[in-house]
Chains A and B, each alone.
Chain A
């Protein structure tokens, strides 16, 4: 049973435009959410996170939005750059150190 779902396996966006990556979850006990970025042949690196007490968190070009009623979060990247091409994983936690990851979305930025 996939508790964290990323329904788009891939996404292509033109350089300079906005990239929006989506993530849905089913477990209402999740209260902390993270996004990781992964380049080929490297491990995932932490990008940005959000607690369930917030609905938005910003860090430079990256913003994460959380809609608890819809059990949906999204990552916005503005403006998109070629170096943003990678696989993005969302992850969720119920309040302990264990994370449940989504299946990933491969983002390709077109120059």
Chain B
């Protein structure tokens, strides 16, 4: 069965800290995605990656960076955490082949920045 694992379910950090969110998929998928989910705003794409070492900005990349050194792992980095980055973060993966490949999601990391 398809599995996307996010390293933490809950995380509390302080303003200004550098924060790493990790995501691992076991399906050998080429594509990986990072979203944030906020009430009334739905899911918004932060960054995505089509292949190892490849990355593209999504709709709200400001304040974030990503790293994909291995195919199965996609990391989201908050360079200097701010309170407006308190949110639910969701990682997803999908097979290459176009838009008709459904994305498979992890269970999310609820991040609080104090």
Secondary structure of the B contact surface, majority rule: loop
A45 at the B interface (CB under 8 A): yes
Assembled-state Cα–Cα distance A32/B97 (Å) = 13
Instruction: Tell which of A9, A31, A97, A104 touches B94, judged by Cβ atoms closer than 8 Å.
Output: A97
**Which residues of B lie under 8 Å from residue A101 when comparing CB positions?**
35, 42-44
Q: Are A44 and B100 in contact (CB under 8 A)?
A: no
Given contact pairs A97-B50, A101-B43, A43 touches B4 in the complex (Cβ within 8 A): yes
Q: Are B105 and A89 in contact (CB under 8 A)?
A: no
Q: Of all chain A residues, which has the CB nearest B40? A: A103
Instruction: Tell which of B50, B58, B105 touches A45, judged by Cβ atoms closer than 8 Å.
Output: B105
Shortest C-beta distance, B49 to chain A (Å), equals 10
8 A Cβ contacts from A31-85 to B: 31-32, 34, 41-46, 49, 51
Q: Are A46 and B43 in contact (CB under 8 A)?
A: no
8 A Cβ contacts from B31-58 to A: 31, 35, 40-45, 48, 50, 58
8 A Cβ contacts from B47-106 to A: 48, 50, 58-59, 90, 92, 94, 96, 98-106
**Which residues of B lie under 8 Å from residue A41 when comparing CB positions?**
9, 107-108
Shortest C-beta distance, B1 to chain A (Å), equals 12
Instruction: Tell which of A9, A43, A94 touches B105, judged by Cβ atoms closer than 8 Å.
Output: A43
Shortest C-beta distance, A89 to chain B (Å), equals 6
B-to-A contact residues, CB < 8 Å: 4, 9, 31, 35, 40-45, 48, 50, 58-59, 90, 92, 94, 96, 98-108
Residue pairs across A and B with Cβ atoms less than 8 A apart, 30 shown, are A32-B99, A34-B102, A41-B107, A41-B108, A42-B107, A42-B108, A43-B90, A43-B92, A43-B106, A44-B43, A44-B90, A44-B105, A46-B102, A46-B104, A51-B100, A93-B99, A95-B98, A97-B31, A97-B94, A97-B96, A97-B98, A97-B99, A97-B101, A99-B99, A99-B103, A100-B45, A100-B59, A101-B43, A103-B42, A104-B42
A-to-B contact residues, CB < 8 Å: 4, 6, 9, 31-32, 34, 41-46, 49, 51, 89, 91, 93-104
